[in-house]
Structure 1
C-alpha cells in the first residue's frame, strides 16, 4: 500500500488502484498519520490538528473516525496505543519520506517527479498550514537539487527573496551556457534585496556570482544521449555516493560493458559544473583536459608564459567541477600523472574516470563495471530491439540465453538486438558461435572501436604488451575458470603478467579463481598455441592427487576444488577421448570417485561410454583396470550387449591378484553384478579384492549389510550397516556414511519403524557433498517414509522435488522411481487410471535406468499387481505379481521376493 501527500491525499493498494477517501475529516486524519508514519501520534495532537479547539466528546469522535477510516481503506493498518495511534507502513511507501531519501541520495530530479501538485491540496484542517509549509520547503529543495532552469524560474517568481533559489537558477543557467542571463538574475536579485530588505547579497549568492564570472566559458559538457539508460541502478547510487566521499573514482571493466554510459548518467545527475573529456583520440592528456573543461587559453594569467599543465591548473584552481575523463586506458600513464597533479593543485576538482585498468593514483576508488544481470540484460535487449522493430517480442528464456552467451556485455547485447530487424532471434542465438561476424554492424556515428564487437576487443588487445598478449592467448585453453596454480603452470607465464591482465580487464578474478569472458576468449583464441595436451595432463595429475582425499576427512575440500575445475576436467576428458585414449582412460578412472561422491553418475556414464567407444572392444596395453572401470561406469547407458559389458569387466577384475588402484572399483563391480550367491567363486574373489585400509573395510561392512538385507536378514543387515556407517564416519567419507544411513532407513521402513531420522542423516551428509542425483534418490525414500507415516501431502512434495532434480541431472532411474511413487499415491486415492499411467511412464524410463534395471521392473510389476487387485482384476493381478516374483528371484533379492509372495497370498480387497 502506498500513501501520497505531495498533492491531494492519495492511497493506492498493492495493485496500484487508488482508494478514495471522500470524507474530509478522515482524509485529514489519514494525512496526519501518514506524515508521522511509523511513529505514535498522540491523542491530544490528533485532536488539536483535526479540530483546533476540540469539542466535548472529541476523544470518542476520534476513535470513531479511526474505525471509519479502517473500513474505508481495506488493508490499512492503524495500531492503537495507550498514547495514541500509529500508521504501520514502510518509509518507501510514503511519497514524502521517499522524496526526502531521493533528495539525500542526490537524485533531485527523481524526487521532484513525485510531486503531483501543492502538498495536502484537498485537506482543510488546523494542522494543514504548518504541514504544507514544511512540505513546501521539501519541494523547494527538490527544485534546487533537480536544477532545471524552467522550474527554478517558476519557483523564484513565487519566492523572489529566496537567495538559495536565485543561486540555483544562476548555476543552472550557467550550466546551460546562458552566462549573460545568469548574471542578469544576480543583478535583479541584488537590486531587489537592496530595495526590499536593505541588505547586500549573502555570501552564498555572491559565491555563485563569482563562480560564474571566473568561468571563461560556462560549461556543462555532458553528452546528450539518444537512447534510454537501462539497468545499473545500484551502480548509479554507489558511484554517486563515492563521488561525494572521494575525489577520484575510476570505472573499470572490459570494453563494451557500458563504462562511458554509466559515467555520463552519473554526471548528468550532478548539480554542479561538469566537464566531459574523451581521451580515445589523443595522446596529449593535458591539452584534452584543458579543451574539455571549456577553457579559452587567451587571457589566463599571461598564458604565453605558462605550459599547458600550468594553464590547466590555473583554470581549475578555484572551480568546483567534476571532470569526466573517458577512455584512459591507452594513455594510462600520462592520464595518471596529469590527473594526479590536477587533484593535488585544484581542491575543488573531482574526477570520474573510465578505463580498462586502474590509474594507480593514491586515493583512487575503483568501481568495477561488470556484466549486466539477466533482468537488466533482457530489458536492454528488448528496449533496443523494439527501437529497430516496433512490437518486437520473443520468449524471455531465449533472450536470457542470448544475453548470457554474450557475457552480459552491454554493447554486444545492443549489437545483437539491432539484428532482430533482419533475423529471427532463434537465428541470432544459433549464430553466436561466430559472434564477431554476426555482430559486425553498429552505429555509424559511434567511435570506430565501438562499431563492432570485434573492434571493441581488438582495442584492448592492441594495448597489451607482447607478454600480456601471449598469456591472454594461452589462457584461452581454460574452460570456465582456473586457479592460480593451474594458470601459471599450464600457460608457463608468471603471476605479475596475470595480475596485469586482471588490471586491464582482460581477465576477471573472483575469490581465488581467474576467468575470461567468452567474448574475449573467442577473440584471443585465434592467437593461441595448442596447449590442450598440457592442459589435460595437468588436470589428470590434479585428479589423481585428489582421489585419495575424496575418501577422507578433507573430502569436501577436495570435492570443492575439483568442482571448481569441473569444466576444465570435462574439456580435458573430451580432448583426450579424441586424441589420446590412454590418457582418457586414466582421467575417467581418477575421476570416478569424484563423480560418485558428487552424485554425477549420469555424466560419468556418458563420459565413460564415449571413451569405451574410442578404445574399441579391448583394453589398451597396461590399461586393463581403467578400461574395466569405464565399463562399469558406462554399463547402465550402454547400447547393445549390456551383459557382455559386465562379463568383460568381471573377467578383467577377476584377473587381478590384489585390490585395484582405485578402491571405488570394487563397490561399482558389486553394484553392476548384483548380489552373488553365497560361497560362490565371485563372492570370494570380490572379497579378496577389498583392501585392508579403513575405507575398504567400511565398504565391506556396508556391502555385507546390503547382502544380509536382500537375503531377508534385516537384524544382521542393520548391525553391519551401522558398523559400516561408523567406519565411514571415522575416515571422514560422507558419501559412504550416507549410503549406510540410507540403507538403515530402508530397513526401518520395511520393518514399519520410524525411518525419517536415518534418512535425514543421509540427506544432511549428501547435501554437504552437493550430490544432486543421490539427494534426488534419497528424496524418493523419504517420500515413501512420509507416506507410511500418513503424510501423503509431504510425500507428493518430495516426489515432485526428486523428479525435478532428477530431470535436471538426467537420471532416468530416479524419474522412474518418482512415477512409481506417484502411482502408489494415485492408487491409495482411488485413481486407478492415473496409477496405471504412472506405472507406464516408469516402465518407459527403466531401459535407460541405472544399476539393476530388472529390479526396477520388478517393483513396477509389483505395483501393477496391486493396482489390478484394487480394481478387482484378480487374473491381471496374479499375472503382474508372478512377473515381479520371477524378476525378484532372478535378482536373488529375498526381501522383495518375500513381499511379492505375501501379496500373492493376500486375499483381494473389497
Structure 2
C-alpha cells in the first residue's frame, strides 16, 4: 500500500486503486500516524493532537477502529502505528529524491539533478499534511519543498535553460521576500537572459528590503554576485549544447600556440568546426575571455562597435561626450586588462577584421587574439591553424552522439562510416544528417544523401568540394522539410541575433507554430539556448535564397510595437527592466530599422527610431544607428512625426540648420512622446553659441506637459545657477528635479548635483549620503563610467582617508575597464590627493601629472578634477619651497574653472592663493582673496584654517573689512583680484550666465 501526505491525506492499493478513507477525522488520524512511517505514536499524543481533551480516549478508539477497515493500523505497547516504510509515503520519496538531486547538483551533474528534483516536486498535490495543517512535519516539508524548487532552478540555470525562470523566481521572491537564495537565483536568471541591468536593480531592491526589514546587509554570496555584475565584463563564448568529439590534438595545439603567439587564426571551410574549437580553446584559457561574434554583422563600420559591445562597454557614458573612435575606446579598455579576444566568423568582413585586429594588437602589447575565418587575415605575426574534417572514428562518434539524442539507444553500424565519408567528415553536415534519424533509418539516410549528391555535387571533389558538400547537405535537409517547416524557417531569417519564443511566434506566425519551431530544433535547423532560438549562419544564408514569404515587414512591425511599449517606461520606474529588454533585442531593433530605412517605410522607420532613441542614449550606443538616421533624414518627412524627426537629427548628428530646426520644433511642440529629446538637444548643443535657443527650450520644457521633461529642465536650469554662484537657486532647481524624476537615471544625476551643492556648503555628511543613494540607483543601469564618477565624488566627501582611497581605487578600476581616460584621470587625481595627505609628494606629483595628461579640458565633467589636480601640483610646489611655481599652478587652476563658466570651481584656486598669501605674510590679502572665493562660490568660506589665522593676525574688525571687500566683488573683479589676465577674464564672462 502507498500513502500520500503531500496534499490531502490519501492511500492507494499496490494496483493503483484508491483506498476510501472516510471523513476528515480519519484522514487527520492517518496523517499523524504517517508523520514517522512505521513508528508507533503514543495514544496520549494522538488524543491531544486530535481532540485537545484527555478524556477523548473512546473517540480515538472509535476512529482507529474505522480506519482499520481501510488501512492496516497496528496497536503496540508504545501506541498505534501503520506498517509502512518511508518509501511507501510520498513525503519519504520526495525527501530521498530531493537529497539525490542536491547531491547530483553539487557533483556537477545538473541534468540528472533536474530530472530527480522534478520527479520529487511532482509528488506534491497541495500543502503537506493538509488534513493536519499545524503538524511540525508540514512546516519542515514546506521548507524542504522550497529548497528543492531552488535546487531545481539552479540546475536549470547550470544546464543553460533559463527560459521561464525569471517569472517563476519573481513569484517565489514575492511569496518569500526574505529568502536570499531565491533573490540570488533571480539575479543569475536575469543575467543568463542578458538582462544585467535588471539583475542589478534586483540587488538594489534586495539590499533596501534587508536594511528596512532586518537592519542587515546582503549575504556574501549575494554581494559577490553583485560585484560580478558591476564588473560586467566581456561577453563569454556561447555555451556548447552538445559534447566535444575528436579534437583533442587540435585543442592542445591551439593552447600551445596561444601561449607564444599573439594572433592565432583557425582556418577552414564552413561547417568544419572552427567556432566550436575556438569555444573549447577559450574555455581552457586560464584568463578572462571576450567573444566577438561577427556573423550577424553586414556593415564593416559596425565591427568596432561589436567589439565594444562584446567588452560590455557603451560608446559613451550617460553624460560623457560620444567617442569619436570606438576602436580607440576598445583599445584603451583592452590595454588595461587584456582578455583573450575571440573574433568569430571573420571571412565576410576580412579586411575590416584584419585592420581592427592589427590596431588592437599594436595598441595593446599584452593582448592575444584567437580568430576564426575561411581565409587568413594576412597580418604580420599571424599563426594559422588549419581545422580539418574529423578523423574517421571521431566522425562516427559524433554521428552516434547526435543520433542518440533523437533515437535513444542508437548503436552505429558499418553504414554510419559510409555516411560520414560521403559528408567529407564535416561536423555540421554530420549533425544535420544525424538529426534525421528521428524519422529515417541509416539505410534510407544513406540512400537520400547519395541521390542528393548525385544532383548537387557535380564535378571534381577537389578545391571547394567541402563547401559544396556542406551546401548539398543543407539543401537536402531543407528539401526534407514539410511546407509549414519551410515557411517558418524562411520567415525566421528576418531575425538578427536570434529570437525569444514570443517573438518567433509573432513573426513566423501560422497554426501550430510552437510545434514547428520545436521540430526545426529537432532537425538541427534551429538551436535554442538561454531562452532564445538561433539559426546557424550557414543555414540562414541558404534559407534566405529560397522562395517564400518575406517576413521583414512583420519583423519590423513586431519590434516597432515592442519599442513603442518600452518607450514610456524608459523615463519611469520601469527603466531598468525595459532597458534590459531592449538591450537583449538590440540586433533585432537595428535590423528592423535598417529594413525600414532601405525599404523607405518611413511610417515604421521614424517611429521606431524615436521609440528607441532614449534607449540608445542611455545605453551609450547611439552611434550604431547614426548612419541609418542620416539615411532616414534624406527621405521625405511625414506630418505628425516632428518629434521623431528631432530624434533622427540628434541620433544622426545633423548639420547646424537641422539642429536649430529641431530646437524650434521642440520649443513649439506641446507633445512629448519622447521627453528625453529636449534634454539630449541641450546636452549636445546648448554650448554651440545659441544660448538664446537653449534657454527658450529650457523654459518651454519647464512648463511642458511631461513630468520627466519638467524635471530635466529644472535639473539643467540648476547648473547655470551653480556656475553663477547662486547656490540657493541651484539647490531649489535640483531639489525640484529630484522630487519629480521617476526614473533611476534622472534621479541619480540630480542627487549627484545636490551632493555637489552640499559639499560646497561644507556638509560632507549630506553629500556622502546623497552620493550613496545615487550609486544605488545607477546599479540598476549598469552605468560603469558614471559609477566611476560617483565613486570619485564619494571619495572627495569621505572624512576617512582609507575610505577615500578605496573609493578612488575602485573608480580607477572601473574607468580602466571602461576605457575612459577622463574618469580614470579623475580617479588618479583623487589618488594624488591621498598620496599628498600621506606626505608622499613624489607619488602625488606623478599622479596629478598623469591625470592632467588624460583630461578632456573642454568637457564640463573634467573641469572640477582638472582644477583639483592643478591645485594639488601647486601645493606640492609650495611644500617644496617654491612659492612662485605654486602661484603659477594656482592661477592655472583659476583659469581652468573659467573655460566653461564654472567660476565656482575657480574658487578652489583662489582659496589656495589665499593660503599662499598668508604664508608670505600678507594676511590682509589672504582675507580679501577668501572673500573673492566666497563671491565666486556663492557661499561663505571664512571658517577655514586660513581664515582663522588671518583673523588672528589682523583682528576681527580688520579681517572682516578685508573679507567683505573681496566678497562684494563681481565675478570678473574677483578673478582680477586673484591675478587672472584680462583675456581670460573676458573669456569667462562670455560663457558665464
Give the TM-score, by structure 1 length. Answer: 0.49
Which structure has the larger Rg? 1
Name the structure, 1 or 2, with higher relative contact order (CA <8 Å, separation 6+): 2
TM-score (norm 2): 0.45
